Amino acid sequence: MRAFLVDRYGSRGGLRVGEVPDPEVGANDVLVRVRAASVNPLDLMIRAGKMKAVLPYRLPLILGNDLAGTVVRVGAAVTRFAVGDEVYARPGKDRIGTFAEFIAVHQDDLAIKPATLSMEEAASLPLVALTSWQVLVERARVQPGQKVLIHAGSGGLGTIAIQLAKQLGAQVATTTSTGNVDVVKSLGADVVVDYKTQAFETVLHDYDVVLDALGGETLKKSLDVLRPGGKVISVAGPPDAAFGRELGANPLIRLAMSALSFPIRRRARRRGVTYSFLFMKADGDQLREFTALIDAGEIRPVIDAVFPFESTPEALEYVAAGRAKAGKVVVQMR
């Protein structure tokens, strides 16, 4: 089969199309013909080698973390899926590789594709949908009436997180650029801060939860908008020891993660709030929860651009250069 491979780590280049063997299908695996995949910042980080310490992949590596497609074979122990089913998934972190013609996915990580969506729309969702769910539902336990700040509201994660937070009954604020104010308002944002003209930390106060997708100074300033007892949950900040334990990392790696996150955790404690890092996990059951919301018309995907499979490297560069205006960038198999 054809696939896009990373032969060496580096910020640019290192991605080539090649012929590789079809995936092996275990007893609990589902072989999927990929119809569409989407590009995530995680793909850029993996390609650049920034995840080597926590995700020690063997090279060459097939890149890609989201997919929608059609089941072509099932393992002997598979009970949830049959040949011909249209499905979508974020594969487990150890089994990525959606920029390919086929991929084998564990049945627990897979879900039937929302009937109301195209393959391209469905492929844009799994990673950001699961991240939104795990931040807002699992970790933050957002309740009706709470105030939630979602940074980068017009991004792939932000466009879905805004909609989920509204479904949970929250009052939602978001940050975005001038050109995307109307986009995030159309998704349900109650308060929109144009970061080009306003400093969010001077405008927003007494928030219960912040979903941080930017890290750096934005993460530090996010602590200032929380009420006492509030939470910042970051997918872009420094990893913490709890993440190391989830990962099953050795004590040295866990200690290093704790050291990396110590300054922001100390700063949070002094303000009477908490900081935690989240690296989303594959979960077919959570995707099924999302499917119900999508097919009910409560959440809709936002797609910025669609590239043909042959232009996968160009799709990654489009995202890396910050050219996507709102939503996800998708790669389409012909």
Q: What is the mean pLDDT of residues 211-216?
A: 97
At 257 the pLDDT is 86
Q: Looking at residue 34, which CATH number applies to its domain?
A: 3.90.180.10
Q: What is the mean pLDDT of residues 204-210?
A: 98
Q: Same domain, yes or no, for 189 and 84?
A: no
Question: Which two structure tokens, joined as six digits, stand for 308?
Answer: 């043909």
Question: Which two structure tokens, joined as six digits, stand for 31?
Answer: 């072989």
Q: Same domain, yes or no, for 313 and 266?
A: no
Q: Same domain, yes or no, for 110 and 225?
A: no
Evaluate whether residue 296 is within a structural domain: no
Q: What percent of the chain has pLDDT over 70?
A: 99
Average pLDDT, the chain: 95
Q: Same domain, yes or no, for 131 and 121?
A: no
Q: Report the relative pairing of strands 191-194 and 171-176 from DSSP bridges.
A: parallel
Secondary structure of residue 212 in the 3-state scheme: strand
Q: Same domain, yes or no, for 96 and 153?
A: no
Residue 245 clears pLDDT 90, i.e. is over it:
no
At 251 the pLDDT is 83
> Which domain, by its residues, includes 162?
127-277
Evaluate whether residue 290 is within a structural domain: no
Evaluate whether residue 289 is within a structural domain: no
Q: Are 286 and 130 in contact (CB under 8 A)?
A: yes
- Run of H or E including 2: strand 2-6
Closest CA to 88 of 32, 8, 154, 143: 32
Q: Same domain, yes or no, for 243 and 131?
A: yes
Q: For 160-181, give one letter per residue: b (16+ CB within 10 A) or e.
A: bbbbbbbbbebbbbbbbbeebb
Closest CA to 128 of 41, 44, 231: 41
At 13 the pLDDT is 66
- Please give the distance of CA 107 from its chain centroid, rounded to a whole number: 20
What pLDDT, in 10s, does the model give residues 270-288? Answer: 999 999 999 999 999 999 9
38 or 15: which carries more pLDDT confidence?
38
CA distance 156 to 328: 5
What pLDDT, in 10s, does the model give residues 26-57? Answer: 999 999 999 999 999 999 999 999 888 788 89
CA distance 294 to 292: 5
Q: Same domain, yes or no, for 51 and 131?
A: no
At 246 the pLDDT is 81
Q: Same domain, yes or no, for 64 and 160?
A: no
Q: Looking at residue 131, which CATH number applies to its domain?
A: 3.40.50.720
At 42 the pLDDT is 95
Q: Same domain, yes or no, for 211 and 195?
A: yes
Evaluate whether residue 58 is within a structural domain: yes
Q: Same domain, yes or no, for 61 and 121?
A: yes
Evaluate whether residue 113 is within a structural domain: yes
Q: Same domain, yes or no, for 131 and 247?
A: yes
Q: Are 171 and 314 in contact (CB under 8 A)?
A: no
Evaluate whether residue 284 is within a structural domain: no
E-strand ranges in 168-234 read: 171-176, 191-194, 207-212, 226-234
At 101 the pLDDT is 98
Q: What is the mean pLDDT of residues 323-331?
A: 96
CA distance 101 to 109: 19
Evaluate whether residue 234 is within a structural domain: yes
At 52 the pLDDT is 86
Q: What is the model's pTM? A: 0.96
Residue 12 clears pLDDT 80, i.e. is over it:
no
Evaluate whether residue 292 is within a structural domain: no
Q: Which residues contact 178 (CB under 8 A, 6 or more apart)?
A: 194, 196, 197
- Using CA of residue 123, residue 125, residue 130, residue 131, what is the dihedral sign? positive
At 150 the pLDDT is 98
At 223 the pLDDT is 98
In total, how many domains does the chain have? 2
At 242 the pLDDT is 84
Q: Is 260 exposed, middle or buried (0-12, 13-18, 19+ CB in 10 A)?
A: middle
At 184 the pLDDT is 98
Q: Same domain, yes or no, for 103 and 241?
A: no
DSSP letter at 65?
Answer: -
Q: Are 153 and 174 in contact (CB under 8 A)?
A: yes
Q: What is the mean pLDDT of residues 131-141?
A: 98
Tell me the Cα Rg of the chain.
Answer: 19
